[in-house]
Amino acid sequence: MIEIIRADWPAIERVQAFTTTRSGGVSEGCYQSLNLASHVNDNPAHVESNRQRLRQQLNLPAEPLWLNQTHSTQVICADNPLTLDGDAAFTRQANTVCTVLTADCLPVLISNKAGDCVAAAHAGWRGLLAGVIENTIDAMEQNPDELMVWIGPAISAQVFEVGADVRQAFMDAMPDAEQAFEQTDESHWLADMVKLARLKLHRKGIDDVYGGDYCSYQNAQQFFSYRRNGETGRMGSFIWIGDGSC
């Protein structure tokens, strides 16, 4: 059976939001078992079988919007997508499933309090620095006071080491980013991506932020991790507005 982690936040009941783990699929080897990504070197038939299992076991209302993610800041309107090339999607329509795939990057799910506008964003350190979260919030056109955010499984500050150049890039963009880095030697730092996301959300007026408690790197049984394994699968994070029928 597919195992999921449901968003633990006070979103209205009709908003459905969760992240998959790596359990419950048919993929083999380094992709074992519920790899949902078609852009890695997994057997395409296994990926399609995994996606079909996901739709059936979790009673998804529609085929998820599978984005072609490139660590960009492009946000797609899932209600009328002109392209799938992007790293975030939002919707105001019921039963439109916004989706991002991750294996260490931040999956960021967003809902307004009314439950009639939701979004999903994929934020690696490059996208986070470049503004994918800010672009997603802007695209939703909602009052920041009405928004809440849940951050799914991602690499944690205890194991995400980066060079001084990455730290400096964040410092140049936002001086308060200093608190999200811990030095390990002369040229390396541990980066807290969840804290960086929280700082960026705060700058946009959003402090209603939940999650960020699961480390993809440290739990190989439950999560895929690119930093840990290199060639690996991807978890999916999903959010949609239910219509009350499912």
Tell me: pLDDT of 246 over 50: no
Residue 39's closest CA among 215, 226, 240, 239? 226
pTM of the predicted model as reported, rounded to 2 decimal places:
0.97
CB 99 within 8 A of CB 66: yes
CB 23 within 8 A of CB 17: no
How much of the chain exceeds pLDDT 90, in percent? 98
Map out the domains of the chain with their CATH numbers.
4-153+212-241 (3.60.140.10)
Q: Does 33 sit behind a cis peptide bond, omega within 30 degrees of 0 on the bond before it? A: yes
Q: How confident is the model at residue 245 (pLDDT cuts 50, 70, 90)?
A: very low
Backbone angles phi, psi at 106, to 5 degrees: -80, 125
Q: 3-state SS string over 75-132?
A: EEECCCCCCCECCEEEECCECCCEEEEECCCEEEEEEECCCCCEEEEEECHHHHHHCH
pLDDT tens for each residue of 155-181:
999 999 999 999 999 999 999 999 999
By residue count, the chain amounts to 246
Cα atoms in the Cβ-side hemisphere of radius 13 Å centred on 138: 10
Distance of CA 221 to the CA centre of its chain: 19
As a whole number of angstroms, the distance between CA 131 and CA 123 comes to 9
As a whole number of angstroms, the distance between CA 234 and CA 21 comes to 9
As a whole number of angstroms, the distance between CA 158 and CA 138 comes to 31
Pull the structure tokens for residue 239: 């959010």
pLDDT tens for each residue of 44-90:
999 999 999 999 999 999 999 999 999 999 999 999 999 999 999 99
Q: How confident is the model at residue 217 (pLDDT cuts 50, 70, 90)?
A: very high
Average pLDDT over residues 18-31: 98
pLDDT at 97: 98
pLDDT at 88: 98
Average pLDDT over residues 122-128: 98
pLDDT at 244: 60
Residues facing 89 on adjacent strands = 76, 120
Residue 47's closest CA among 58, 56, 57, 35? 35
Backbone angles phi, psi at 133, to 5 degrees: -65, -45
Q: Which amino acid is at 58?
A: L
Q: What is the side-by-side strand order in the sheet with 181-183?
A: 161-163, 188-191, 181-183
Residues facing 218 on adjacent strands = none
